[in-house]
Amino acid sequence: MSILIKNGRIITASDDYHADIYIQGEKIHTIGENLDLKADKEIDAAGCIVFPGGIDPHVHLDMPFMGTFSSDDYSTGTLAALHGGTTMVIDFILQTQGKSLHHALDAWRGRSDGNCYGDYSFHMAVTDFNEDTAQEVGQMIEEEGIT
């Protein structure tokens, strides 16, 4: 899918200007003035500021803690985030005592997969450190991209 956002105000760390943004798939393809490109969807952003979605690096979704769960699950939490302009959340995984990091990752993926409205990733909370866990930490980073 392609999107052409016309007439938006773009503010960066160093610039403030009006331009059009052409998006192909999930990537910005072109930024320029008066773009004459065909798109599946066109949005007139006149009078609006156009900015990328935010990333919330510290969330607790569907998290068990002290006999209860956090109030938002992946569906409600990511939908609420999108309404506020946050397009990605990074949730905390809690390792269960006596269980592996991979076991914890599988449990959190079971809660999140297919239930999110936006992008998401994880941080790992190591709560039972031992020799096996020490090896798993490296695997989590290298193989899963999880810190």
Domain annotation for the chain: domains and CATH numbers: 2-50 (2.30.40.10), 54-144 (no CATH)
pLDDT at residue 57 tops 90 = yes
Dist CA 118 CA 11 (whole Å): 23
pLDDT of residue 13: 84
Angle at 84 between CA 81 and CA 89, to 5 degrees: 30
Across all residues in the chain, what is the average pLDDT? 95
| Dihedrals phi, psi of 144, to nearest 5 degrees | -110, -15
Question: Do residues 30 and 37 make contact, with C-beta atoms less than 8 angstroms apart?
Answer: yes
SS3 9: strand
**In sequence order, which ranges of the chain are alpha helices (DSSP H)?**
74-83, 101-112, 131-139
**Mean pLDDT, residues 106-113:** 96
pTM: 0.79
